[in-house]
Structure 1
Amino acid sequence: MEFIFGIDVSRYTSNVAILVDKHLVKQFKISNNVEGFKILDEQLGNFAKPLIIFEATGVYSRSLESYLQQADYPYTRINPLRAKKDMDSFRHNKTDSLDALGLAKAMSMHHYDPTKLSDPVYSEMHDLERLYQEKNEDIVREKNRLHKILSITFPEIEKLLSSTDGDLYWNLVQEFPSPKEVLKYDIQGLSKIILQSTPKNMGTLRSQHIASRFIDLAKESFTISNSIYAIKETTYHAHEVQTIDHMKTQLIDEMAKISENLPEIKVLTSIPGIGLKTAVCLTAEWGDVRRFYSSNAINAFVGIDLIHYESGNYTAGDHIRKRGNSYARKILFKAVLNIISASKHTPTNISLSYNTKKQSSGSKGTKKIVISAMHHLIRTMYHLILNNEMYDTKMFLTEH
């Protein structure tokens, strides 16, 4: 006999449908908490080797998944798009109870493989990486706010250094949020403060050069507002940007620490142009890449699989689906650009493919060429990780 539990998970509750040899025998609702999982455990205990299926619904399904893992029940976590496609043939209405029944019916028809459990480190990395991405979004907002308020209090300070990033710049903005604060000092006095403000070693001549330029910019600056509130807002946003930037660094360090025993980190960083940050962030987003049956499956997961459409005499240009992990897609896009930049010193099969296509197409379709290079990069990464091989430039260029 076949026993199937279809579970439709929502935020606070889950609907459960039990099929025995394709016949519905029971439906009930549980809360997604300790008491609810006790009820589910009692029901599961009534059947021998029950098949369990539910949709992956982000954070909402994680409590159910954690319970099933701790209770040592095999389960199938199905992609919502796959579930919708398979249930559309027999589901005409949509309710939570019908979704639970539909999942059970889909399991009885298709007999999906159980979900392979990955090392818990991948889940930990994923949580850290999502926090890292949140901080990325936060720092962009804070930088925009800082730029806006500096346009009122001290616009010329943005010309002081070659970059408006880094501890030296943010420390100076907090120390000198308006030109009048700079003009209180001569070059020697200002030079000493600059030396104290940089976390890196800086020579006296360099600090004096910055101090001299700082005073000149302060004299040129036309301040719109010197109000105490505008000054406080300037120092606040500079401090926030600096704090978030430090937190981002700490998150990368933490991901690197907990993943130091994962062989794919060393494999990925062996590719010229791929640094530790890219390797840990990408691994955190796509998890254990060995669970994918092919590199094309990774393309679909990332959302760069191609869509082809033609009807009658009309054929649309191929374009990527973009229905996938947008963070992984962004990381891979930047990784390709880094590989191309590093190819000046260490060419790779990815950069060679990119340059060949770029030359043949002129300067048109650069983004499409990068997407093509992403496909190439994914195939290379997948091969290396599956075989636990380091990147060998000579071997890959010879094959290419």
Structure 2
Amino acid sequence: MDVDDEALAELEVLVGFDDDLAGEATRIRGLLTGIHPALEHAIGPRISHPAVLEILSRCGGPAGITKAGRRKLTAIAKVHAPRMGERLVKAIMTALGEQTVTVPGTAAADTVLPRLADSLKTVLQQRKQVAEQVEGILDAHPLAGVLTSMPGIGIRTAARILLEVGDASHFASSGHLAAYAGIAPVTRSSGSSIKDEHPARTGNRQLKRAFFLAAFASLSHPASRTYYDRKRAEGKKHNAALICLARRRCDVLYAMLRNGTHYRHPEPAPTAA
């Protein structure tokens, strides 16, 4: 086994462990979805934020959070989220007011959720430690700089792409890579009408997730945002526009990996005289 193969073997163990840790957050979201969907919708996407975890840890589930009240929630949230604390609490209070029925299991959630929140805090700390080890191994790989030079690709997504794709030499074209990842858009049609594009149900799930996360993260980059906005202007929904962006980026990434070249930012369009 050469040095690169040994590094990839170590990377696979660490990234696999990291994936398992990431699954812990879904336990909390799953529990909230079952007892209070509106609350899950409000805090689920931010479930790993320290302010959200502290509220769950100290107040529990929907009943405990309601009992705590706006003032206490705001005091907790502002310590961990000075800028978004009030907005977070407003979203929580609005969500609590949307459900008037108490679902069986709500009381038990006040006991279980603080423990799950504390467990997730520990998991997130472990993920930091794993990420440091992943970064150390990744830095030594010759393609690491190639991957991370592309906007939106961080340490975790780079590690996953490297494990699943390597130097892309096993793929005849970027189209083959897109199909393998399951990001080649599939058009839904009914008779003569074309309804929409959606992700293929097949493909490598972990790689698909990496491509999607990278595409979403790249929206702060002007070229990606321009392309995404153009697709939205064409009438595509958010997910469909992201599919198109991920697919476009796949073409670029494939060429980068095959040639061993870093990402080149597009030249700005010339302005009219």
Q: TM-score, normalised by structure 1?
A: 0.47
Instruction: Please tell me whether the aligned partners of residues 146 and 237 of structure 1 are also in contact (alpha carbons under 8 angstroms).
Output: no
CA displacement at 1:267 relative to structure 2: 2.0
Q: Residue 50 of structure 2: which of 167, 170, 189 is its match?
A: 167
Cα distance, 1:138 vs. partner?
A: 3.2
Q: Distance in 1 between matches of 2:159 and 2:254?
A: 15
Q: Quick one: which amino acid aligns to residue 209 of structure 2?
A: K
The one-letter amino acid paired with 1:265 is: A
Q: Decide whether aligned partners of structure 1 residues 391 and 175 sit closer, same or farther in structure 2, where only a CA change above 3 A counts.
A: same
Inter-CA distance 381–181: structure 2 relative to 1 (3 Å threshold): same
The structural deviation recorded for 1:342 is: 1.2
Task: Pick one of 325, 338, 362 that aligns with 2:217.
Answer: 338
**8 Å CA contact retained: 2:167, 2:258:** no
**Greater strand content:** 1
Distance in structure 2 (CA, Å) of the matches to 1:139 and 1:201:
19
- Which of the numbers 5, 9, 15 marks the counterpart of 1:129? 15
Rg comparison, structure with higher value:
1
Give the Cα–Cα distance (whole angstroms) in 1 for the partners of residues 251 and 259 of structure 2.
Answer: 12
CA distance in 2 between counterparts of 1:165 and 1:388 reads 35
Provide Cα deviations, 1:266-324, integer angstroms capped at 9, x if missing partner.
Answer: 2222223333332223223333434434323322321345789xxxx999999875432
Amino acid at match of 1:124: E
Deviation per residue, 1:318-353 (Å, 9 max, x gap): 9875432111112212322222x213xxx23x5554
1:391 aligns to 2:263 (yes or no): yes
1:373 equivalent among 207, 230, 245: 245
Deviation track 1:198-240 (CA, whole Å, cap 9, x = no partner) reads 5x6969xx99x89x99xx99xx9x9x89x99665323222223
Question: Any idea what SS the aligned residue of 2:208 has?
Answer: helix
Quick one: distance in 2 between partners of 1:181 and 1:316?
50
Residue pair 1:303, 1:324 contacting (<8 A) in 2 also: yes
Partner of 2:132: 253
Contact 1:270 1:391 in 2 (8 A): yes
Secondary structure of the residue aligned to 2:151 is: coil
**Gapped runs of 5+ residues in structure 1?**
1-68, 71-116
CA RMSD of aligned residues (A): 5.0
Determine what percentage of the aligned residue pairs are the same residue.
Answer: 18
Q: CA deviation at 1:130?
A: 3.1
> 2: CA distance between counterparts of 1:142 and 1:373?
31
Question: Which residue does the alignment assign to 1:29?
Answer: none
Contact kept, 8 Å, 2:178 with 2:184, in 1: the verdict is: yes
Give a deviation string over 1:114-136, Cα, whole Å, max 9, x none.
xxx96232233233333333333
Give the superposition deviation at 1:381: 1.1
SS at match of 1:289: coil
Partner secondary structure for residue 139 of structure 2: coil
How many pairs are equivalent?
Answer: 248
CA, structure 1 residues 275+142, in 2 after alignment: closer, same or farther (shift >3 Å)? same
Given candidates 351, 363, 373, the residue that maps to 2:235 is: 363
One-letter identity of the residue aligned with 1:174? S
Residues 303 and 364 of structure 1, relative CA distance in 2, 3 Å threshold: closer
CA distance in 1, matches of 2:269, 2:164: 28
Say whether residues 1:275 and 2:154 are aligned partners. Answer: yes
Partner of 2:27 in structure 1? 141
Deviations 1:175-205 (A, max 9, x none): 344479969xx98xx96xx59x95x6969xx
How many Å separate the matches in 2 of 1:300 and 1:267?
22
Distance 1:382 1:292 in 2: 9
Q: Partner residue of 2:176?
A: 297
Correspondence for 1:77: none
Query: How far apart, CA to CA, are the structure 2 residues paired with 1:228 and 1:273?
Result: 41
For residues 92-129 of structure 1, give each alpha carbon's deviation from its aligned partner in whole angstroms, at most 9, with x where no partner exists: xxxxxxxxxxxxxxxxxxxxxxxxx9623223323333
**1:333–1:142 Cα change, 3 Å:** same
